[in-house]
Structure 1
């Protein structure tokens, strides 16, 4: 049983995705932020060009200038790029105005990372106005369906446009996909038209708020139930689902707690699971533990047997602990939204097949991560190296009051 729990308050919205009573995903957004910065489109002004770095800093109206690398200025389709990469100062000059889209939030003391490779996500596809190629989600189950979706993508795009068919497009009709791309195409035309007359720096488009992204990005056929404890959020979600996912409306329920009864998050112990997930030392059910240490760009996870002594076979004890650790690492990386380089110091295993099984399990589990995650492999020192895309600041754990109680 996979459930989505949505807890609404006056100043905050929280979403928890629970599978078999275990918390796998958690999202939080303050209502005054009205959407994340990633995906926002600005009319920017080039502040300065750095030929030695093949990059430029552009003013998008934030306290720190955004960073624009040359690869994000060239055409998004590799086949349309020049064979030899030009100098950045032949493409951009200080004072020049251009449209850019945020691909990474400002992190620490760094400004946002921006691109000119624009993309607008819809329910079934991602529309890229100048990409000139078709992509299909790697999570689509069969090659036949991938071929069908690619053929449909060719039919619905105009010359020069690009689309990426999302997993939600699996089995969808040509009409549904055509409607999705047409809506996004018209929206892009509005953004582009405003950009022609606006003065830089200015915000032209901000990605949807968390309620909209809930339906657009998080709602899949794997979700069996959607529970919402706030009336206004429930009505807004229901209206959005009628337009974007009408077949899933029977799964939507309004949670109304009994007087003195448990709240929506309390029923599934969401707060307790969050507190446990964000601790430096995370206890495994077997008695082993994970110890997390973080810097801005690197996370190190140390796996220990702890109180788990197994039976009589040390190799089996170590192997079982490492398998359990791999499962929890994949889950906790998503909950903590950790990005950058990740090094896992699993307990040393003597048998090569055990090392391979641990790595294969981790590879399989991270494929379900909505954020791009790659298992690189074992280093010469016996450490497992991974990377996970970092697009925003790490999540901040809310207090008990904001996690469990209603206003």
Structure 2
């Protein structure tokens, strides 16, 4: 599988695209005025402890107070560690939140989820700092190995090396990342020494700096992309900014010199995202409907509570029978769903409504295809069996806003509903408002200002109804079109 990482830099925005076999799989965006804060470590102040929620709001210097749950304060050794988990899994607290925190208390916290919508950032005191091959867990003593490293001898080698190195640098806990597979002890030692230096700086700053200060800030998007996204099958990282290219070269020269030859400066006249068709893919990623090669299609609906994905056969008729047609469509849809989740960065609860299949083996194969396609996803996913209603429920870890919510805003005309009232509906609302206004206020004449489409309908199709209304009320009514009015907007003015 051929994979490339494209870095597009403009003065106020940086975008990183992961392209596999010519198809866009992931898109990461960082804008200068709104950088993500996941991974940042702050010296915060407890603003308010809420016993009923077993949580507290902590002021860290962001626009809104951040949220810290009691489960994210108490630490416990994990039963298993897998790639994507940055810290041991928490267990319920042994004591109430009031015994753990108090109002006004200073506390060192790390952001694990960006502010999303109206919700503030999510915090933890279980600090984790990633590097190329390791994740430092300063409050832990556990050394874990990514579950994606399957060779048992290699797992034992890595664990032995890191455990020995850790004992020389304070005995902290570490997660050994997938990228560490096959790396020599020297490379791991450099990574571990770097993380130790970073943690020493964080500790010193936590003592010296005032509250609401940032103690550690994660790398910028291009550097994070090189650190986290480069795998063995990534052939090139192409960058269209010389300044960013030089920063990446300096970064890899220090931390991962074997990757230096993969970093390439793109100097072509055509924009790099246009050359690879990324811009077109981004546009399609904002559509609700996703066409499949077979003629079927997906319909993706993102709501506040969950994301639903509906699979349809569309124009695909198949060659044998209905069951075979449905099965082939669902297999293709399973792969497309996995790609769309990565591309659109959809998270939380996801419900997939595959086309109904009678054959249990077909259902198993579709589920296996989905799980296999999700294996390359950097975010942690959990897929459940088909429900009695034929639905597949799954979860995907969400730390930042989806692509749609990063690039779009609710429609000003419909307010995000996805539909607007018809001109006919608005017409009858206007008639009712006229009657209400005349009964409440005394006026000889009335002026109605509305959108051009509504006014055109009233003066054309409803002209007789207007005449009847004028006779009934004994008032003169005039209509005025205004292009600035949305279809649902109107004003009734008394003259």
Q: TM-score, normalised by structure 1?
A: 0.93
Q: How does 1:152-301 map to 2 (within 5 A)?
A: 152-158=161-167, 160-258=171-269, 262-301=270-309
Q: Distance in 1 between matches of 2:194 and 2:41?
A: 17
Label 1:76 to 1:65 Cα distance change in 2 as closer, same or farther (>3 A): farther
2:443 corresponds to which residue? none
Quote the Cα distance in structure 1 between the aligned partners of 2:166 and 2:331: 45
- The structural deviation recorded for 1:50 is 1.6
Deviation at 1:84, TM superposition (A): 7.2
Aligned to 2:329, the other structure's residue is in SS state: helix
Partner of 1:50: 50
Considering only aligned residues, what root-mean-square deviation do their CA atoms show, in Å? Answer: 1.9
Asked whether the equivalents of residues 297 and 339 of structure 1 are also in contact (C-alpha less than 8 Å), the reply is: no
The runs of 5 or more residues in structure 2 that have no matched partner are 80-87, 409-495
Q: CA deviation at 1:197?
A: 2.3
Q: Does 1:117 align with 2:126?
A: yes
The answer on whether the counterparts of 1:36 and 1:207 sit within 8 Å (CA) in structure 2 is no
Structure with more relative contact order (C-alpha pairs < 8 Å, separation 6 or more) = 1
**SS where residue 179 of structure 1 aligns?**
helix
Match of 1:326 in 2: 334
Asked if 1:41 corresponds to 2:37, the answer is no
Helix, strand or coil: the match of 1:157? Answer: helix
Q: Contact 2:191–2:255 at 8 Å: present in 1 too?
A: no
SS in structure 2 at match of 1:188: helix
1:146 maps onto 2:159 in alignment: no
Cα displacement string for residues 96-141 of structure 1 (whole angstroms, at most 9, x for unaligned residues): 1110000011111111110000000001110111121111112214
2:69 matched to which residue of 1? 69
Per-residue CA shift, 1:8-58, capped at 9, x if unaligned?
Answer: 21211111111111111111112344x520001111111111222211111
Runs of 4+ in 1 over 4 A off after TM superposition: 78-84, 396-399
Q: In structure 2, the residue corresponding to 1:130 is in which secondary structure? A: coil
Q: Give deviations 1:179-204, integer Å, cap 9, x for gaps.
A: 11111111111111111122212221
Give aligned pairs, total.
395
CA distance in 1, matches of 2:213, 2:110: 12
Please identify, of 120-129 and 203-212, the stretch whose mean Cα deviation from structure 2 is larger.
203-212
Q: Contact 1:76–1:117 at 8 Å: present in 2 too? A: no
Is the CA contact 1:76–1:130 (under 8 Å) kept in the aligned structure 2?
Answer: no
1:334 and 1:5 map into 2 onto residues whose CA distance is 16
Q: How many angstroms apart in 1 are the aligned matches of 2:91 and 2:273?
A: 54
> What's the offset of the Cα at 1:171?
0.9
Residue 277 of structure 1 and its aligned partner are, at CA, apart by 2.3
Alpha carbons of 1:285 and 1:39: their partners in 2 closer, same or farther (altered >3 Å)? same
Report the counterpart of residue 12 of structure 1 in structure 2.
13
